[in-house]
Amino acid sequence: MAASDKVHDVDYLYKAGEEAWAEGHTKKALHYIDLVLKEDPKHAMAWTIKGNCFDRMGQYEDALESYDKAIKLDPTNADILFDKAETLEKMGRDKDAKKVMNKAVKLEMGD
């Protein structure tokens, strides 16, 4: 398989995972996202959706781990930080959530 074919497969799988996530099919989304990450472990948005899946399933520590991987790959993406802040809030870690949320807002505002 040519490298360009792999890119197209990853794009297709990511879109399938994103769509499954949006439709509320968490386990199906996680399946597609895991396939994406197997081919491209540096796909920041795939790590974000994986975090969202874990969050939805109440697996908050796993969600944070996925968000942290996404942030490491794409540190200026405010959306990832917003998602992480929401998970921290659900965990009762309000101080941490506020810190992450403030960073996200600064990025979003261009500060």
**25: amino acid identity, one letter:** H
CATH of the domain at 24: 1.25.40.10
Q: Which of 26-30, 95-99, 102-106, 107-111 has the lowest mean pLDDT?
A: 107-111
Helices and strands of the chain, counted as H and E runs: 6, 0
13-60 pLDDT per residue, tens: 999 999 999 999 999 999 999 999 999 999 999 999 999 999 999 999
Q: Residues near 22 by Cβ (< 8 Å), separated by ≥ 6?
A: none
Q: Looking at the whole model, is its pTM more than 0.95? A: no
Q: How many structural domains are present in the chain? A: 1
* Residue 8's pLDDT band (cuts 50, 70, 90): low
Residues 6+ apart with CB under 8 A from 63: 51, 52, 53, 54, 55, 84, 87
Residue 48 CB burial class (10 angstroms; 0-12, 13-18, ≥19): buried
CA angle at residue 78 from 66 to 93, to 5 degrees? 60
Angle at 19 between CA 13 and CA 44, to 5 degrees: 60
| Domain ranges, residue 76 | 3-109
Q: Residue 36's CB: how many other CB atoms inside 10 A?
A: 25
